[in-house]
């Protein structure tokens, strides 16, 4: 059995981790930390976990996380980088769901996240936890940087066509929408019901923190620096990411995009390429670790439109973290995280 600990178990990604790990046949959750909720029953805060989680939140200073096999950080940015080194030295695998180890260029990270990095040497070692790209590296990792929600949907959407070398990578466009849970479980005016309901808005157009993460990943796939315009939007739903991606074909001969995508993801358990001409919906992945993709070439032009949908809290966060844990410990990737999406 894997002994698992969670640091920061009171946010949306924390409770999603608990939902999946509580049903994982090879996991025993030994610690869930929260300074603000220390001593409170987990089921008191999250009634959905009643009879599934029989633990109290513990103070991080008192929890014996060093006795765990794996520790998940479901914390704000800047926390994992202060604690991961000691855990790794104790032989604990670390999976960080925040952004502390996602960006390899430390100066770039500090620019976007507005703080000095506490552990740059570990950032150099961390493996970016997108299984569809880095599966073999994840198997050998001590520290996994779990991808962000926007970056997961965007990279999986662009991946096959960039790998094939068929598009102009200097002028990629990602137009992406997210539900309000992507902002986290905290009090903020822009996510109040009266503010977010019946409303639809773009934000972060001059620059968003996920931009360097996406650009880094796509550039590695392309083998050269890519040019990306990334515009996120907030939509009045709780869960979901919908990425509409645009690229210009450079290959003049006939390209079977449907076949390209189906072959690339044929053996990926959590990527579903839909039939030609279809349009994936966010509700088709709600509560699941699935990314559904459809690829279009409108009017047989040289513009490719890729539609990629995920649940931002699952494949965009906690589900992918459990998928990475399975890879780390040699279990089937789908173990404990193969739930069917929720409809309606």
Q: What is the pLDDT along the chain (344 residues), one digit of tens a residue?
A: 999 999 998 899 999 999 999 999 999 999 999 988 899 999 999 999 999 999 999 998 899 999 999 999 999 999 999 999 999 999 999 999 999 999 999 999 999 999 999 999 999 999 999 999 999 999 999 999 999 999 999 999 999 999 999 999 999 999 999 999 887 777 678 777 788 888 989 999 999 999 999 999 999 999 999 999 999 999 999 999 999 999 999 976 788 999 999 999 999 999 999 999 999 999 999 999 999 999 999 998 999 999 999 999 999 999 999 999 999 999 999 999 999 999 98
Q: What is the 3-class SS of the chain, one letter each residue?
A: CEEEEEECCCCHHHHHHHHHHCCCCCEEEEEEECCCCCCCEHHHHCHHHCCCCCCECECCCCCCHHHCCEEEECCCCCCHHHHHHHHHHCCCEEEECCCCCCCCCHHHHHHHHCCCCCCHHHHHHCEECCHHHHHHHHHCCCEEECCCHHHHHHHHHHHHHHHCCCECCCCEEEEEEECHHHHCCCCCHHHCHHHHCCCCEECCCCCCCHHHHHHHHHHHHHCCCCCEEEEEEECCCCCCEEEEEEEEECCCCCCCHHHHHHHHCCCCCCEEECCCCCCCCHHHCCCCCCEEEEEECHHHCCEEEEEEEECCCCCCCHHHHHHHHHHHCCCCCCCCCCCCCCCC
Catalytic-role residue among 23, 68, 119, 149:
149
Tell me what pLDDT residue 302 has. Answer: 93
Q: What is the pLDDT of residue 56?
A: 94
**Predicted local confidence at residue 193, as pLDDT:** 79
* pLDDT at site 344: 86
pLDDT at position 274 is 98
pLDDT in the model for residue 249: 96
Q: How far is CA 91 from CA 3, 87, 167, 220, 330, in A?
A: 12, 7, 43, 30, 17
What's the pLDDT at 279?
Answer: 98
User: pLDDT value at position 189?
Assistant: 80
Domains annotated on the chain, with CATH: 2-147+316-328 (3.40.50.720), 150-310 (3.30.360.10)
Q: How many CB atoms lie within 10 A of CB 45?
A: 14
pLDDT for position 311: 98
What integer pLDDT is reported at residue 194 of this predicted model? 80
Q: Does 149 qualify as catalytic in the annotation? A: yes
Model pLDDT, residue 276: 97
- The length of the chain is 344
């Amino acid at each position: 059995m894997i002994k698992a600990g969670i640091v920061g178990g009171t946010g949306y990604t924390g409770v999603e981790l608990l939902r999946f790990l509580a049903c994982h046949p090879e996991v025993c959750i030994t610690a869930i930390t929260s300074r603000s909720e220390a001593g409170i029953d987990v089921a008191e805060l999250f009634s959905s976990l009643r009879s599934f989680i029989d633990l109290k939140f513990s103070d991080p200073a008192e929890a014996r996380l060093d006795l765990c096999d794996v520790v998940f950080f479901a914390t704000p940015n800047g926390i994992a980088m202060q604690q991961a080194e000691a855990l790794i030295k104790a032989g604990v695998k670390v999976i960080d769901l925040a952004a502390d180890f996602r960006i390899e260029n430390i100066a770039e990270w500090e620019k976007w996240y507005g703080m000095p990095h506490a552990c740059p040497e570990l950032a150099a070692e961390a493996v970016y936890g997108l299984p569809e790209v880095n599966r073999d590296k994840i198997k050998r990792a001590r520290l996994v940087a779990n991808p962000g929600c926007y970056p997961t949907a965007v990279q999986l959407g662009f991946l096959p066509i960039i790998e094939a070398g068929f598009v102009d990578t200097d002028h990629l466009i990602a137009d992406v929408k997210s539900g309000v849970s992507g902002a986290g479980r905290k009090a903020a005016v822009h996510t109040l019901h009266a503010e977010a309901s019946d409303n639809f808005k773009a934000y972060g157009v001059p620059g968003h923190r996920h931009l360097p993460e996406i650009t880094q990943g796509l550039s590695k796939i392309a083998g050269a620096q890519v040019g990306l315009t990334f515009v996120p939007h907030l939509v009045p739903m709780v869960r979901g990411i919908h990425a509409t991606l645009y690229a210009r074909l450079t290959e003049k001969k006939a390209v079977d995009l449907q076949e390209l995508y189906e072959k690339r993801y044929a053996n990926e358990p959590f990527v579903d390429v839909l039939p030609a001409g279809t349009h994936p919906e966010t509700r088709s992945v709600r509560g699941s670790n699935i990314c559904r993709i459809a690829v279009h070439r409108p009017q047989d032009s040289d513009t490719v439109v890729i539609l990629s949908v995920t649940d931002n809290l699952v494949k965009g966060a906690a589900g992918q973290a459990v998928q990475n844990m399975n890879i780390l410990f040699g279990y089937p990737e789908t173990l404990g995280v193969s739930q069917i999406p929720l409809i309606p």
